[in-house]
Each structure stands twice: as C-alpha cells, then as structure tokens.
Structure 1
Amino acid sequence: MVLIIITGLYVLIVVTFWAALFFPNKKNTTKLYSVSVVVAARNEQQTIGTLLSDLVQQTYPDELHEIIIVNDGSTDNTGSIVDSFVQNYPNIRQLHVVKDTETGLTAKKNALNQGIRHSSGEIILSTDADCRIKPTWIQSMVSYFTDDVGMVVGFSQFGQSQGGYSLFQQLQAIDFLSLMSAAQGAINLNCPLAASGQNLGYRKAAFEQIGGFQRVKSRISGDDVLLLQLIHKFTNWKIRFAPSPECFNYTQPEKTVKAFFSQRKRWASNGSYQLQLNLIFFLFITVMFLANAGIFIGAPTYFFLYNSFKIPILCLFAKILVEFLITWKGAISYQRIDLLKYFPIWAILQMPYVIYTGISGTFGQFRWKGRKHLQELTIFRTDYEVD
C-alpha cells in the first residue's frame, strides 16, 4: 500500500509537469537591455577559445553587451587564450579571482560574484566555459525579460543530434533532457524548481535584492538552482523558461563513469538544503527517491512476503509511462527525437542511479575542477539582512 501511494504521488507530479509543457508561450519583449555575460573559468584551455568565438559572433548590439571571463586560478593556458581575445575585442574583459575572506563564498560563487560586481549590465547572462552557444543567444534570452521577469532559465543539452557519442553519453543526454523538461513544466506552473548554470539569465537588481550568494555562500554548487530558489522566495520577480531554439546551447557529456557520478553527486548535494529553501522541491525529490527505491529494492521484499511481483510491476509501468510522456514532449520541443530510442535503457538504469546519487550526494564527497569537496549538511541562513 505504501509503495502504491508513493508511486501515485510521483505519477501525479510528473503528469502535472507534463501537462504544463503545453501551456501557451507568453508574449516576449522587444526592449533592449545592457547585458553582461559573466563566465567563471578554471583550467578550460580546451574549450574557452571556442566559447569566446561563439560570443564574439552575437547578433546583439556590441555597444549593449560586455563579456567578462573570470579566471578562477587556472594553471593552464586559459588566461593567455582569453588575453588574445581581449586584445582584439574591446567588449571582452578578463578578471583574475582575488581570494575574498570577507564574503566567505565558495570557489565558483566567489568567481561569479566578483564578475557580477565588476559588471555594468542590467541583465547578467551566465554559461559554462565548456558550452557552445548560438549567435542569437543573447538576443533571444533578453527577449524573455518582460518588465515583471527577474530570471530566465534557458535550455541546455548534452551533445547534439549528430552522431559520434557513445551509449553512455547518449544516456546522459536523455537524462538531462528529462530534467530540463520537468524544470520547464514546473516554471510554467509558477513553481520553479531547477535551473542550469549552462544557460541562465537574471537581472542584476534581482541578484542584489537577495544579497547575491550570501544566503547560500557555504554551498559548493548551486550558483544556478539555489539562486533561482532565492529569487523566487525573497522577491516578487517572475521566473520564465526560454523554449526558443534560438537560445538553446549545449555542452559535452562526461566521458567516464567516475566523472559522471562526481557531477551528479555535486548536483544532488543541494537536495537536503531544499527542506528549508523550497519545501515543494524537497518533497518532490523525496517522493522521486522513495518511488525509485521502493520499486527497485522493494520488489524482492514484496515477492518474499506475497510471492508476487504484481504491485511492483504495476508501479514500475506507471512510473515509466509518465516519464516517457514528459521525455517525449521534451524531445519534440527541444528537437532531440533521436534520443527517444535510448529511453528503455535509461528508464531501467535510472532507478539504481537515483538511489546512489541521492545517498552519496547527501552524505558523500565529490571532485570538481581538481578540488575535493566533502558534503556538509549546512543550515540555510535566514538571518542574513540585505542592505
């Protein structure tokens, strides 16, 4: 009975997200804002040049946007590559991270904070140093900033529809596709849950209104999802999802299983934080974890007690059905129909994967940018006052 209830809740939530994907798009604006693209980079010599090549081809007026690359202690040729662009493009700047003992911000948040502090744009756009973006990225993202919107979440994907990716990498792509689909559905319901720093925009005024990253300064990650939660919780700004292909971007999936799980444990590390920051999100990820664990681990227990797999199989079927619906809709919207053939494998492997990352992301450790991080169950700061 417990398994049926938990699975039923999970099915109801996912169906609600799926239905919200059919909501009509709201009207965009033609207003032009000043924009600062802020990118934190650490040892990105293999990719930073490609990203900068994409950024200098933007269709947005040069006089209305600047590009700030924040060099977070790179020990490779990242700095010299950025310098070569700085010499040729007057709207590109490179900042070198200065250790800031006053704010107490963790590495990437400190880098982004310093970049934002030196920015002049009304709108901050962020992406990762290993991403590829379209020439229309800035123009399209800005169009979603109507007068009441404080943050815009853009779509990002792992890889492209062209071939050349392993099965393991394609499974990462469909997994991220399903996550982004759920994120869009939740935002359409005015209940934003998740975002990706690979494609994100927000008003500098909204960032300053919440005190920047200070409320979540001890978190290793979360410069995207926690920022979204803070703007939603502490301001009246609206949050929108940008479904236009003109602002889609992509990055490469991880090549090894070890790197993949380190990435996903980092993402999952903020799960317990949602208990204080966003109770609805916390309940959703808890229900998702329990549904997967209940079916995957509970099936043999149920068979031992009742000599039948009937209930676990029915729950598994219901779970897979609704996950297919939301992934199918996302694949159409995001032009990744090619990924649907990997859905059956992903749907089965997802269960042990969710269980493992849920536990290890909460209590384990992970590596990021050559630094080892031990997860800590820190408390959300409710006493922070914004000047």
Structure 2
Amino acid sequence: MSELPLILALISIAFYLSILTFLITGFLRIKNKETGFQPKVSVVVAARNEEHNLKNCLTSLLMQTYPKNLTQIVVVDDRSTDDTPNILKQFNSKHDVLTIRISEIQNGISPKKVALHEGIAHANGELIFTTDADCTPPKDWLTQTVPLFQEDVGLVIGPAPFTEESKLGNRLLCLDNFATALVAAGATGWNVGVTCSGRNLAYRKSVFEQVHGFQKINHSLSGDDDLFLQTVKKQTNWKINYSLSPNTSITSSAPKSLAEYIVQRRRHVSASKYYSKPIQTAYLFFNLANLLLFGFLIFSLFLQKYLLIAMFLFGAKLSADFLSLYVVTRQFDKQHLLYFFPLWEIFFLLNQTIISPLGLIGKVRWKE
C-alpha cells in the first residue's frame, strides 16, 4: 500500500505518453494530397450583433481567389439588435450576398445551429464552408482547402489560431490553442474525429443531409463543430482531413480578460458532456494523469525516497509536452510561442482542473 503513489504515477506517465504519442504520430501521418476538384461552394456565416466585425468578414470573403462563379456567400442574421441588418443591406446593394433573417428561436434549441441550418438549407454549393462573423479568412482559404476533398473525404478541418498580441495572457492562450490544434489534427491523422473549430470547417452538403444536419445534437448550445464532426464519424463511412497549410488559417481574437475566457471556455466545454464515451474517458484520464504527475512531484518533496523518480517522470512529461507543441507550432511557423512553455504548463494544469470543469455546471448561453 505504501507504494501506491508510485504505482499511480507510473500508470499515469504510461497513459499520458501513450496519448501524446498517438497525437504526434497522427499529426505526422497527415498528407495534404490535392485533387483537381473544383465544385460550387457556399460559405455560411451566422451573425448576431456583429456590427464591428461583419464588414471585415464579408470583405475578406469577397476577396477570395476561388472562382467567383463557383462561390456563394450566405449570411444568416440571428435576431441582431445592432447595426448588423443595415450593414448587410449595404453589401447586398453592391455584392451578391444572400442574406437570411431569423426573427425568433424556439426555446431549448441552439440559436447558432438554427442559424447555420437555415443558411445551409439555402446554400446551393456542393461544399459548405463555415466561419464566424468576427473572422477574416485569408484570400486563399477556399482555393487551398477545396482540393483536400478527395473522393472519400467528407469533411475537412482547418486551423483556427488566435491573433497574437503582446500581452502575456494572449501568448499563453495562443500556445494553448495550438495544443488544441494538435488534438484535432493528431486524431484526424488516424481518421478519428475528436474536435474542430466552426470558424474553419468545411463539409459536403450531402454529408450534412446524410446525418440529418444538427438534429441529433440540437440539445447542446455549442457543438455545431465538434459534435457534428463526431456525428459524421459515427454515422457515416466518410473520411476526414486536416489542412496543414498556414494559408488556410483563420484567426480570431483571443479573450481579453479572464472573465471573457471563462465564458468562452464554458461554452466550448459544455458540448463535451455529449462526446462519445471513449473520447470522454480519454480526456478524463489524460487530465487526471497530468494532475497525478504534478501531485506525485509535490508528494515526493515530503517523502524524499521518491524524489529522483518523481523528477524523472515529471521530466518525461515536460519533454513530451514540449515535443508535442513543437511539432504543431513548427508546422505553422509559431515556434517563438514556446518561450512561454513553462508558464503554459501551469496554465494548462489550472485550466484543466478548475476552469474547464465549470463548463459542465449550469447553463451556458450564446452571446446576447
């Protein structure tokens, strides 16, 4: 019984390293083989009170290098009470932008999913691209993502990093975002759907129809991205792909305050209640292993017969974490963020043990 802490630590490091090995090798397995595929595409944007962002978003979509005759832009105005409707009218008078207005939402149904579903229903493209109204997709976003739809690929995940700023908090969030990207891309490399971001996602309209849209996941406020991805993998035989090109990265602003981050994190984590049991179990034991390795190191300071092995195990964890982040940041030329790795380790522990669990408690809302 006296060796129980050591046994738990050994089990923890074995599981922890197994998960990271799975993700790193999966990431390295991804090969973005392009095809000559060039179908009609529809970009669907759900907007609610986005008067400060919508102009930049629409301008970036109108500047896409993908053939204009093969591109449809659909914006769904979800009950906006600011100047969003007037901005859309201005764009409609000069450009070919399909605008749909939603006046009311039925209680108990995710507003964003309703908006996206309505937009997709009016889309005439073979491929559906989704992004958020506060994003500005790069000009080659469509051009470089469409060719990744090989014949057996039904969904393509794109990178969605945060915009870098000089503040320390922002740098930590940017680095943490790449950790999430590793999970998304690494799992994709093994054709496993775990997570993705709705601000950079594309799928065949036929796939959306095949799984009956968001019908099975309407009970979750969020999840128009990760829960939809998991639904596609569970109910169809389509493969998934991940774009490794920095030219397809869609950035958005990171939360500006701790309160804003907690609200955003709660919204994202709330969908994890509906993840498949294997994915939930992997997340739970990975975070538990991380916590136990920290705990074993602290425990060894008081019972020093374990100190050397605790330092070795913790060093192995740190090395694996650093290697994981190096692999993904190198791909997107963001290795400089690794200077913040020591502080990120502390942030990661607090995030996974305190902040993230808040998303599993109470109700969350889409922005008002």
What's the TM-score once normalised by structure 2's chain length? 0.93
Aligned residue pairs, count? 362
The residue type equivalent to 1:13 in the other structure is I
Q: 1:193 to 1:136 in 2, by over 3 A?
A: same
- 1:88 counterpart = 2:94: yes
Distance in 1 separating the partners of 2:132 and 2:311: 41
Instruction: Determine the C-alpha separation between the residues in 2 that align with 1:158 and 1:78.
Output: 24
Counterpart of 1:4, as a letter, is L
Residue number in structure 2 paired with 1:132: 136
Within the candidate set 43, 64, 76, 1:58 is matched to 64
Deviation digits for residues 230-256 of structure 1, max 9, x if unmatched?
A: 000000111000112221111111100
Structure 1 residues 32 and 339, CA, compared in 2 at 3 Å: closer, same or farther? Answer: same
Task: State the shift of 1:364 in Å.
Answer: 4.0
Distance 1:333 1:286 in 2: 28
Contact 1:292 1:355 in 2 (8 A): no
Counterparts of residues 207-286 of structure 1 (less than 5 Å): 207-274=208-275, 277=276, 279-286=277-284
Instruction: Report whether the alignment pairs 1:99 with 2:135.
Output: no
Asked if residue 28 in structure 1 is aligned to residue 26 in structure 2, the reply is no
* 1:385 corresponding residue in structure 2: none
8 A Cα contact 2:61 2:136, kept in partner: no
Aligned to 1:121: 125
Residue 6 of structure 1 aligns to a residue whose secondary structure is helix
Question: Where does structure 2 lack aligned partners over 5 or more consecutive residues?
Answer: 1-6
Q: Partners of 1:100 and 1:366 in 2: how far apart?
A: 16
Deviation of 1:5 after TM superposition, in Å, equals 0.7
Equivalent residue number for residue 293 of structure 1: 291
Separation in structure 2 between the aligned mates of residue 217 and residue 166 of structure 1, nearest angstrom: 37
CA–CA distance in structure 1, aligned partners of residues 99 and 177 of structure 2: 31
The answer to whether the 8 A contact 1:105-1:214 is kept is no
The match for 2:176 is 175
* Preserved CA contact (<8 Å) 1:292 1:354: no
Contact residue 196 and residue 225 of structure 2 kept, 8 A? yes
What CA distance in whole angstroms lies between the structure 2 residues aligned with 1:369 and 1:209?
A: 30
3-state SS, counterpart of residue 113 of structure 2: helix
Structure 2 counterpart of 1:37: 43
Q: Does 1:343 align with 2:358?
A: no
Distance 1:255 1:270, change over 3 A: same
Native 8 Å contact 2:17 2:320 kept in 1: yes
Give identity over the alignment, percent: 33
Tell me, what secondary structure is at the counterpart of 1:353?
A: helix
| Superposed CA RMSD | 2.0
- Which structure has more helix as a fraction of its residues? 2
- Which residue identity does 1:126 align to in structure 2? T
Unaligned runs of 5+ in 1: 371-387
Whole-angstrom CA distance in 1 between matches of 2:300 and 2:214:
46
Which residue of 1 is the match for residue 167 of structure 2?
166
Query: How far 1:302 moved relative to its partner?
Result: 5.8
TM-score (norm. length: structure 1): 0.88
CA contact (8 A) 1:35 1:124 kept: yes
Instruction: For residue 250 of structure 1, give the secondary structure of its aligned residue in structure 2.
Output: coil
